[in-house]
Every structure is written in structure tokens, then in C-alpha cells.
A and B are shown apart, each in its own frame.
Chain A
């Protein structure tokens, strides 16, 4: 349907899923995917990916993936700006793979280097008993589609529990955005005046 002549702008996402902070869990891996609107299409790069399993080091509590992201999107319309959806999985006590967190963040729209810390959460079981059986059988509630977390719709029926953070760093490049009248400008250099002790 899209005409080839139509003008588009490009958004290149470079970056990496740096790591996560899940104080209680170890041996986690992360899946990522993008959610974007109708007017968006990926042109190059992987839309979905899965990281290696990583363990914590003895010193630090952080899980490091350093998993590269590299995708270019083209779009005609900033509506439906892509979001990165990450979901973290790892074994539970019995070795079953269970979900450890879902999270989403919009791809930053200002060009340059950005860092995002995504708070993660998991859906809660409806009943206590389910919580127990889920724990026992290693089948915790999961979203039917991780992309749900990038939407507002339908979320009101779920209850979630927060669960750690995932840090993602982005290097954003845009092309032709200004040409199309969207000015996402670079961030104003942090010229913050150090607050004088007295006013």
C-alpha cells in the first residue's frame, strides 16, 4: 500500500542491552523485540533477539549481557514510535525456565547516546494457590505476548509485581526527520548551574 515515492525518515537504533539488576536471580537471559505502529517498518537489523545466559560475578550483583541491538526503522509518522520490549527469563529453584520480568521503553528520539533503565515486572497470579502451584510447577503467569507491555490497552486487568531493572544503552541516529518537520533536537548540553549554597 505504501507508495515507494513517499518520503520517510529513518531511525537507526544502535546500542546494547547492557545488563540487569535482579537482586535475587541469576542465570538469566533476555529476549527483546520491538513494538511499533502501522507507519513503521524495520529496514535492516534484527527485530527480535535473545541474549546469552549470564551469571552474576562474585563481586557485583549485576548481570551483564552487553547484547548488541542494531535496527533501522523507516517511518512516515512518529505515531507509533518504536518501543523496545524486553523480557527476562531464567531458571527457578527447580530449574524450570520462568519469566523474571517484562519491561518496555520507547526508543529515545533524540539523537545521541542515551541510557535507559527499564523497570521490570511480572504478572501476579490470580490466586494464592496458583502462586504456589506456579512456583511448584515452574509455570508462573506469563503474558500471552510480551508486546502487551508496550501497550496500554488491556493492562488494567493485570496485576504485576516489580522485579529488578534492565539497563539499555542506545545510540540513536535519525535521518530526514528535520526535513519532515520533526525536530527532536539533541539534548541541551547539561549546562546546569551548580546550585549555590545560599539563595
Chain B
């Protein structure tokens, strides 16, 4: 139909398309009308529909062409419209008809083609251009279209068209068609609708359509309408019923059933059949073992049993139960009833490959490269080797299918074989001849001997000969006996066979034994026989005679010996007897001796009794024996010689005549076939064809296998397989020998290899089976067990090449030992077990077998050989750890040391401070400048020579050196310790949250989001390593200050002065408190200041940012910790003066001069900030004792004066931190060695740990590290020590004064934080004498010293370990006096009452005295809020509570030795300081002249000692007045500075920070006075009085 369409499609596709569309649209409508009836038939329908429809469309369009062909489809279309059908059968017929129609059309088409070939071509072209008509692209020329194919396409088309239905409007033509079709179509439909149900209706239409097609196709141009309608009814009536069945069956075929429900119990039961749940109860041992065996415990028997891997008991039980369930489950259990287990399943070496290489990731060097396969060089014809395995056959000496007769026959055959072999060898004959020869020789000799005298040599030879004769005779006798028994056995077996054959009435074997009788001459034979016996007897006699003689001689000898001995014995006895006072007991003595004799010499005594009797009876018995033997082993004289002959000529009883069992056996035999597999090097290379087993149990293969081999032969195994039907089983394995290269095919004989198998086979027929006891006796006794066995005849040899060369690998090519295979490798099999003790043999063998000395298996042998080989290798007498080291020393040590580069590298590796971060060690020696190392060497040298000149004080210089050394050693220790890491340093890990934190977090949820009192958030900590310059900033938040000194109202000025500055006076009178303070912060020479505030209690609340740069740009933690810079926070008063009261400009302009007057300062070392990360609190401002022009009166707060205690000094509230927050270096965790009791140390550790857990913010110290780096209990540091006598003498009555003096003395010792001195590594405590020698120390040292002094003064004193502002963790001293508790700050000698709110001590961690350590377990930590009564154990947890105090002795010296104050040195120092300061101040004022007011200088100088005496206490107004009166017209601003002396530099810094030098006024003069007050032990108090004088 396709072709037809193509054929008729003369026009380009457009009109066609339109027509099609219209048609489809129409149909669509119709279909819709027909509702869903056709749904189920969609596929088939669509096919038909579209094909036909297309056709019809064309026909409608092209009525001019092929009217003939066009008509039938229109007919069919009617049917089509009436639509569906479901019967495939029907479809078939339709298809047939279609085909018929198609062929018809084809004919027409051909016609057309012949008429208009050109137009056809045209059409083809057109068609190509039409793309939308997919179906039309089908090759129109192809003769037959597969209907399905086209149908499929058309269907697609149809669907496409259906989509478009709505869009396209029908043309007039189409409309016409539509209506006509509609009419045609509706008509039958309507008529049917009347009487039929839906289904039927469908059927009808189908039928209808089919009919229509038939009609149309067959008859062509019939006008159909009426015809169809008429026809339509007929088939419906005719076979409607049959067809409908199928459609109705929709319901018929479906069987509705209830869901199958399986009851729970039933299901359980079913499951139980299928499933098995091993119980985990212990299995009783009896179940696990075979019956009637008791468990055997190897371990109890003393055998070593490895430790079993641990398996949980439950799992083991489950496994056991599982095993027991399984077949052969018991084999899993060992003798002890436990699951057998290897001792340790863990491999010693890891099996994990080093790297998991993904595909293609292999190291290029290791990557496998594809190479084309090529013939191995061993494989080319010249070099290839060929092993010929010739398997000729197989003979069973026993087979399970043997019948009894076969067994016997086999036995007979075996015996006969033996017989033949013996016959062939003819050992008996040989031996007889040899014997005769020997006898002759002997006889000859004897005759010669009798003629001549007895010659020793001859005699010797005779005896040798006779010995030989005797041996030969014995051998011959044995052989003869064997022959004889063999013959006898053969006859016996033969008889049995005969009996058996008779008994079972059939024969199975061909064997027949003939005995050929060879008659002999009776007389001669007898004579020979007799002769033989006679000679033998003679010989035996002679032998026994000889022996007797020998024995006799021996006997005599021994008898003599015995006699001798006896005599001796007697003599001894006699002596004994005499000694025993002659107890006459001869008899007993005799007995004794006899007994002894018999005991000791029994064998000799028996000798003499025998000599005579043996001779005669011997002769008789010998002859008798000989005769007996002869009759046993030889044929009787005159008897015919029997020559057995085994023939296989016998006939076998035909199968039919045999009993059933035998028939079964024979049939079974016929079923069996055998084949042999050849395994070369354990790989199957070939196998023979399977051959049937013959009735005589021989298999002939006769196959030769040529094995072309490449690998050296290791083993050749021939496996004998037996096939029964389809199953085949391995019978036996035969190990073929690997032949020598000389063994070549042709020359090699066929050898037989015996094999046997221990399979147990039993049959119910005549076959005897294997491994089954059988008996040949009628009574069933004498059972034998026969195993399948046999001989394989084969031959393994090397092939022969064309040139007659053996195709064997040359002997050299074969690795040692392989040639003779396994045996050779094994020393024991090669040279025998005994050979193992023979070194030579082993050596020989080793060289022969070419042992691989590198093979670990041979290690022991090689070692043995080495030792054995004649002392060539003598073990050295010494032991060397690295005896190969020298070979690696490519340079001598001296050269190494000379190398600068190496030196540099070494030093850097040792982290010597200069080279710690040395970059780019030059590659060449020459590039290293000498300077680099020179500096270092210089330093090393300097360390030894102490240069005192550079320092102001020789003692200090020494101390500095000492400190440096100490520092170095500690740093070295630290460097070591730094390389010991802890997990927390390497791995950041979440802490385990505990319940408390969870609770807090929950509580936090309820917190207000914006609390009224905001708290500072924790910032993220930054490790210091990634920082660079400018990254770190110091943030200083200046909040407010209290009690700043106020300017003094100058009311008490001299009147003249007053009048002059009347306006000024009125000024300050109005504004009562005239102070305008601001804060200046200087750090690392950067100075920042706040705005100016008003009043004595200003509030700035300003943040200042100061940049920080680390020394040398090294931002490592250690480097940062050792920064010694300090932050100076100075409070100044901004004073504005009117100057230049120029009369001319008066009123129009005012010249003001701003001066800043230093009021006080706070200095905070950077190390403190760094280690604490933030400092927050009120700091006491270090104000000078005298502040000229200022007073500390409380201003307007007079109302509260009654309630407030006048606080001493000014306070400033600051918040200081480093941005970003740096992680402070942690103190060393290295466990230091200690001489303390280990138990105590552990207790202290536990104590501290508990404390840290319970109260993380309270410092708790029980042990400290002393200067030697040893851990010492803190209590050892407390001991009453006597302060310098001068202090005690100064105020003999005033106890209080002495106390303050002592405190002052302690505070005058310079303070040097440990962090700075020891790079923050650890807190070292020095004892008081060390402290006083070093004259530098931390708060702890000060506190300890102060505490010790207080104790000496009779106070109750404790050390407070706590935290304070700004020091952080620190130590204070607590004293208990009648008036209450006092807290002393040891570094500044200040004393606070317990409830002083300005006490810098914030937290009290623990209290220490010489007896104990008490840890604060109260709720609060501030000294304000806690009870300091240490006796209350619920508030103070003592350390030494559990065990009584161990009575630790103190580490402090008994007495401190003080050196007297050196006044001369002090004066000298004083002058030097003054000079330096003056120079400095002048330097700082480079642009202005610096004038010194000498007069003032001297006045000030006089003041200073007074100040020292009053210990810095406020000097009364008198001082100022005095000054004022002295200096008259000057406005003086000045103050005395006081500090402990350590070095000159800090003094300069302090002076600079006051900013006195910065006064720019032109008429300013300066005054400077320095006073150094010496205290014992070189403790110096330095006073600097600084003043500026402005002439008014």
C-alpha cells in the first residue's frame, strides 16, 4: 500500500498534507464520538487507519490518476471508520488480502512507471525535500515494504496529525469528504446501535470493516455502500458468538480470589523449616567431639598451645552451633572440643600496599608497557626443548573390580614376574660359582700352607678367605631359599586359583601355570648334593673349631688376669681382717670373696667349664643343621627341576555362563574407562584419551606427548583418572622423574611406576573392592586388605631434534638442583642423615647443588659452612656497633669542623640565638663572610671575660653575666622541651562538653539580648607565626582617673606676687579645682594622648591604638615574650599661661602658652600585657612624693569625707589589650627532675589538678622550680630570715617602722619578670640569698623575701598566691596583726588593709607558709570577700592534711649574709647618673638652649636625702615654702622621682617620659638633682629631682 501511495503521489506534498490533515481531523471527531471504545485496540487500528487513510487522501485529491487503485481504499475506509477489531486471526486474513491488493497495485504502478519515467524521477526529488512526511522518505523503489514498518511510521504521522486537528480548518473539498464519509459511516452505526450492546457493536464494526476491505480489495471498483450494509449483517449473525468470547473473557479469565492468608503459626512453622537461628547457649563438649572420646587438652599435656585469638563467648557459641548444624561440622572442632583456631591471625607484616594506585597513576617508571607478544628466544626451533612423555599403558595389580580369581591371578603374575627376574639375574648360580671358586682357592692355599711353614700373612689370608666363603655361602643359602619359597608360593597360589575356579565354576583369567619338569641324573645329583653338604659341614666344623680356639685363648688370658686379681684381693682382705681384730670368720670371708668374684668376673668364670663338650655334639648337630637347611632351601637330591611357566592361554568362561554377581562385575568393568592427565610443573598440559578397562585390567594407551617446554621442569605428574559413566575420579598420582639431559627418546626404556590409592570401594557384586578385607579361606579367616594399585608404564625423555640432538636444556641452564629435582635440594635425602654431621660432605653437597647463598632457607647451612670452612672467617673478638660507619665518612672530622658552612648549619640546627632563623646559608664555602661567625665567636669569648667598665656598677655587671648564662641554659632547656609536643598543640579538638557547660548554655538562652551591663566578648586567639609588622596593635582604653592632684591655690604666695597676678588669682578662685589632666601613652617611642578633661576625677573614655613592632621582625612567641618594652602612661596637667602681655596688642590678642605638668605615671611592661592578653582595672598612679604646685586635697567631695577614707594616691582605670589577641606562650610542661618524694609529687599534682578543675581561675601552686631546674615544694622557700641589722637598729622601739623599712628594702630590689629573663618559658624561683645576689627577681622572690623577713620579725605571715593588677599571677604577702589582716605588695612595699578597695590583689588562690599550702575553696576570690582564717578547712583546703606534715627542710640558708652599704660607690654612681641625665636632657632639646639653675640644683640636692629618710612620704608644706622662698620669682614645676636602681637606661626612660624637657618657653631654666642612697647588699635607691623654673 505504501508503494501505491508513493505512486499516486504525483503532486508535491502540500495539498496532500492538507487533505490528510482534514481527514484526520474528521476521523478524530468521529473517534471522539465513538468515545473510548477503541482504546484497547489502538495499535492495530492506528496502523490500518493511517495507511489506508493516506491512501484515501491521495485518491481523493487525484481522482484523475489511477482511479482503479483509488477506489478500493475508499471502500476500505468505510470499514476503517467503523473501526476497531481485536482478533489477530482476523488481522491475518486482512493482511493477506492487503498483500494481494498491493501486488495488484504494484502492477499498476509498473505500468505507470513505464509510461512516465521522468515524472517519477521528479517525484523522487520532491519527496526528498519533504521532510515532514517521515513516512514518505521510505525508499519507494524497494519492492516489498514491511507492513509493520510503514504502519509504525504512519502511526506516528497520525498522532502528529491528530494534534493539529484543532488548528487547521478543512478546505471545501475536505468538508465535502467529511460529510460524505460521515454519512457513509453513520449509517451502519446507527442501525446497529439500536439493537446491540456496546461490545457487540465494536465487533460489528470490525467485522464490517474487514468485510469491506475484502470486498474492496478483491473486487476493486465495486460500489460499496449498500453492499457493505447488507454484508454487514451476515457475518454478525454467523460467527458473532465465537468472536465475542474473547472480549468477554476479560472478566472470564480473571479469577477473583481472596488474598491468600497464611496464619501466623503456619508461617512460623514454615520459617522454622527454612530458617535456623543458632542459639547462643554453650554447646556441651560431648556434642562437639566424636562419640566416646574425651576431650583432650594439649596444654595440660604440656604441649605448647598458642594463645587463641579473643572471640566473645557469645559469638563463639553461635559459631559452634552453626557448625554443628552443618554437615561434617565436627571437623571444625579440635581435640579439646573447641573450634580449631590459629594462635594469632594477625600478620606480622602489613599487607596493605604502600600506595593505592588508581588506574594510570602508577609511577611512570613502574608502568607496564605493552609489548607485542613475540616468540621467546627459547622457543625458536634450535633452542626449544621437548619433553616426550610416552604413556604406554597401565596394569592394575589390584583393582576394586577384581574378582577373587583376579586377585589370586595378580598375585601369581607378580610371583611369576619375580621368578622371571630372579631367573634372569640368576643370583643363585653366580653365588654358587663364586663359592666354588673361593673354596678352590682356599683349598689351594691350605695345601700350600701345609707344605710350607705357617706364615703370618698367609694365615691372615686364609682366615680372610674363609670369612669370605662363609659370607658367600650365607648369601647363596638365602637366595636359594628365596627361589625355593617363590616356587612354592607360585604353586600354592596356582593351586588356590584352580580350587577357586572349580568352586565358582567359571574362570575369569587367562592364566595357566605349567610346571616343566626337568629330569636330572639322580646319582650324580645325589652325589653333588652330598658333596655339597659335606663341604659345608667341614667348613662349619673348621669355623667352630677356630672359634673355639679363639675363645679358649681368650679364656686363658682372662683366667690369668682373674687369678692375679684374686690374689690381690686376698691380700687386701687379710689386711682388713687384721685390722678387724682378727675375727676368725674365714668362711664368710671366703664367701664374700666368692661372691665378689662371681659378681665381678662372672663371664670369665664360666669360660673354663666349656672347652671340652662342644666338639663332638657339634659335629653331629652341624651336619644335621646343614641337612635340615638343605632340605628346606634346596630341591631334594634327584628331584626333578621344576620350571614354572605362566601362560595366558586359558579360556575365560563366557559371560552368559557366569552367575549374576559375576555378570554384574563384568559389566561394571566394561563401563570403566581410564585416562591420564599429564601435569607439568603442576599445570595440566595434556591428557590421554580415555581407554576402557579390559577384562584383564590392563589399559593400553600407547600415546606419546611431546611437550614443548619453556620452563625448566620441576615436576612431571601423571594423574590416573577413572571414569565411570560421567563421573570421574582421581585414582592415583604418579610422579614421573625429570630425565637427565642424556635421556632421549628412543634410548630411554619404558619404566614402570607403581601407584596405589587408598580409596575405599565396595561392591555388591563379585568385585572384591578396595580397602575392604577379603578372605580366600572358606572359613573367612586370614583376611587381607587389598588396595587399588597398579603400574603405569611410561617413559619420560627429552625429544630428539632433527640433527639427532637432544632437545634438552643444557645442564648449565638449569638452575641448580632442578635437574635432579627435589631430592637434590634436600640435604638429608642427598647425603643421608648421618652425612649431616660430616662437614666435608655437606660442603661437597653444597657446592654440588649450588645452593643459593642468599636464600634465607639456606642461611643456616651457609653459616655452618662458613664456620666450617677452615677458619677463613674468624669471628672478631670485639663488637662494633657501626662497623660500616667509617666507610660513610667522606670527610675527616677535622675538615668538617673547619667548614664554615657546616658550622653555620650546625649552629642553626642547634638554634643558637644568632642563627636561629638564619636564612640562606650560602651554598659555597667562599660565599660565607667571615663576619658571620666572628660575631658569634666573639660573644662566646666575651662570656668568659667580664668587662666591668661598661657598667656603672661592677657588681651589676657580674650579675648580668650570670643572668645571661642562666637564661641561656634555661633557653636551651626550653628549646629541648619545645620539641616535645602535646596533642593539644597539634590538634584542635572540641572539649568534651560536660553537663555544667550545657546548663550554662541553656541558661544563656534566657539572658537578655542586650544586657544593661555589656561585657567584653572573647576574641579569637591568633597564633603568632603568621604576623608581620603592623599587624599587632596595642589598644589602650583610658577610662577615668580618681584623685588627681589639683593645683594649689597660690594663696600663700608672697603679696607682691599676688598683686601681679590678680586676674589669675580670681581665675582659680572662680573655678575652684583647676586641674586639666590628660593622659599620654608612650610605647616604643610612639606617643599618643587623650583629650584634656577637667577636674581631679576626669573621665576620658578614649581608646588609643599604638602600633607594635617586634624586635628584628620576629613574631614568634618566644621573641614576643622577651620584649622588654614598657607602656608608659603619664598623666599630665595642661596648664595655659598667658604670656607676652604685649601692651600694644592688649585687648585684641592673647598669647597663651600651654605647658604640661607631669602628675604621675603608670608603667606596664609589655610582657605582662602579652601574657595576660588583657588588663583591666584601676591602677595606682605612681605619683612623686612632692609635686610642686599641686596638692592632694580632696576637692568638692567634702560631704563624703566622713565616710571615705582618704585613699592614698591617684588611680587610673585602664583597659589594655593586644589586637589581635595573641596566644601567650605556655610555660614549660617538661617534667623537671626532682629530689622530692615521688608520692608527694603525685599528691601535689593531684591537688593542683583538682584545684584547676574546681576553680579554674584561681592559681594554685604547690611545687615550684628552683634555679637549678628542680622541682621543689613551695613550702621549702618559707623560713624566717633576718633582715639587715641596720633596719632593726634604726628603730629599736618602733616595730612598725622597722616593718616598713624592711618592706621598702625589699621593694628596692629591682624587679625583673621571669617572662622577660627566661623568655616566658617557666617560672623559676630563687632562694633569698640567690635573689639578693642577683638583685633581680620576680614578684615571687620579693614576696618570699618579705615574708621571711616578716616571719623573723615575729609576725604571722603567709605568701598569697593570686592574681593582681597589673601583674597577673603573682605573689603577695599576708600578715596577721592584732589590728587585722594586711596585704603587702612586695614589689612596691605598699601595705593594704584587707578591705581596701584599691588593693591590686584581685584573686586569692592559695596561702603558703612553711608548714602547708591552703587552697581557697570559698565562693569568692577577692580578699575583700573572703575569710582569711586558714584553720577553717571548709574554706581553706590544706595540702598536707591527709598525711602528717613530712617536715620538709627549707631550701633557704640559715642566715643571710649582707654586705655593708658602700657609700663611696653610691656617690660615684650618683655623679655619673647626674652627668648622663644632664647630657640626655640637653640632647632632647636640640633647638633650645638648656640652662641649668645651679642654685636650685644645690637646694634640691639637699631635699633628696630628707625624702629618702621619710621613705617617700609626703613632705609637708614646709618643703615647698622653703623652695618658694629660696627661689623667689620663679614659677617652679618639679618633682622628685624615685626608683630602684638596676641600670641607667630605665632612669633615662622615666625622666624622658615626664616630659620636663619639652617645655619650650625661652626663659625656662632647669634643675636636676640626683641622690643615690645605698642599702646593704648593694641595693640602691635612686632619687632624681627634676624641676623647671620659669622666670616670671
Contacts and interface: CB of A to CB of B under 8 A. Distances in A.
Interface of A: 1-3, 5-9, 21, 38-39, 41, 62, 75-77, 79, 113-115, 117, 119, 123, 125-127, 129-130, 133-134, 137, 139, 141-145, 148, 153-158, 165, 167, 180, 187-188, 190, 192, 194, 196-199
Given A1-B920, A7-B924, 7 more contacts: A2-B922, A7-B922, A39-B919, A41-B919, A77-B920, A115-B364, A158-B987
A187 B919 contact: no
Contacts of B920: 1-2, 6, 8, 38-39, 41, 75-77
Interface stretch (B152-160, B988-996, B1067-1075, B1123-1131): B988-996
7 contacts: A5-B927, A8-B923, A38-B919, A77-B923, A79-B905, A113-B364, A144-B988
Nearest to A115: B361
Contacts of B905: 77, 79
Interface in B978-1027: 979-983, 985-990, 992-993, 1023, 1025
Given A142-B987, A198-B376, A153 B979 contact: yes
Interface stretch (B351-359, B517-525, B1317-1325): B351-359
B988 A133 contact: no
A167 B908 contact: no
Interface residues of B, number: 45
Interface in B914-942: 917-924, 927, 929
Given A153-B979, A198-B711, A143 B988 contact: yes
Contacts of B982: 157
Interface in B950-1004: 979-983, 985-990, 992-993
B361 A157 contact: no
Contacts of A129: 992
A165 to B, nearest CB: 6
Contacts of A153: 979, 981
B1334 interface: no
Contact of A123 (B367, B981, B987, B1025): B987
B919 A188 contact: no
Contacts of B993: 133
B1224 to A, nearest CB: 15
B378 interface: yes
B469 to A, nearest CB: 58
B1432 interface: no
B927 A7 contact: yes
B254 interface: no
B378 A198 contact: yes
Nearest to B354: A119
A117 to B, nearest CB: 5
B630 to A, nearest CB: 64
B987 A3 contact: no
B1062 interface: no
Nearest to A74: B920
Interface of B: 355-358, 361, 363-367, 369, 371, 376, 378, 710-712, 815, 905, 908, 917-924, 927, 929, 979-983, 985-990, 992-993, 1023, 1025
B988 A187 contact: no
A77 B921 contact: yes
A117 B360 CA distance: 11
B922 A187 contact: no
- Name the 7 nearest CB pairs between A and B, nearest first: A154-B981, A2-B920, A141-B989, A76-B923, A6-B922, A198-B711, A198-B710
A133 B990 contact: yes
A187 B365 contact: yes
B989 A157 contact: no
A39 B987 contact: no
Contacts of A9: 923
A185 B1562 CA distance: 78
A62 B359 CA distance: 12
A9 B980 CA distance: 34
Contacts of B361: 115, 117, 167
Nearest to A164: B356
A157 B923 contact: no
B981 A130 contact: no
B1498 to A, nearest CB: 53
A143 B923 contact: no
A179 to B, nearest CB: 10
Given A2-B919, A153-B979, A198-B378, A126 B371 contact: no
A155 B985 CA distance: 10
A56 B988 CA distance: 29
B927 A6 contact: yes
Q: Interface of chain A, helix or strand or loop or mixed?
A: loop
Nearest to B709: A198
Contacts of A2: 919-920, 922
A156 B929 CA distance: 39
A190 B983 contact: no
A38 B358 CA distance: 35
Contacts of A143: 986-988
A15 B918 CA distance: 30
Contact of B989 (A3, A134, A196): A134
Contacts of B356: 117, 119, 165
A190 B989 contact: no
B919 A119 contact: no
A165 B982 CA distance: 27
B711 A130 contact: no
Nearest to A127: B992
B924 to A, nearest CB: 6
B372 to A, nearest CB: 10
A44 B1377 CA distance: 72
Contacts of B1025: 145
Contacts of B369: 190, 192, 194
A50 B987 CA distance: 21
Contact of A76 (B363, B366, B922): B922
A133 B995 CA distance: 13
Contacts of B711: 197-198
Contacts of B363: 115
Contacts of A142: 987-988
Nearest to B377: A196
A137 B987 contact: no
A3 B384 CA distance: 70
A198 B712 contact: yes
B357 A117 contact: yes
Nearest to A187: B365
Contacts of A141: 987-990
A98 B917 CA distance: 34
Contacts of A158: 983, 986-987
Contacts of A190: 364-367, 369
A129 B357 CA distance: 35
A142 B712 CA distance: 58
Contacts of A77: 905, 920-921, 923
B712 A157 contact: no
B918 A1 contact: yes
A168 B980 CA distance: 32
A160 to B, nearest CB: 9
B990 A144 contact: no
Nearest to A176: B923
A130 B1023 contact: no
B376 A196 contact: yes
B917 A38 contact: yes
Contacts of B366: 190
Contacts of A155: 986
B987 A167 contact: no
Given A3-B929, A41-B919, A154-B981, A130 B364 contact: no
Nearest to B908: A38
Contacts of A123: 986-987, 989
Contacts of B358: 21, 62, 117, 165, 167
A154 B357 CA distance: 29
A198 B988 CA distance: 56
Nearest to A189: B365
Nearest to A1: B919
Nearest to B358: A21
B348 to A, nearest CB: 20
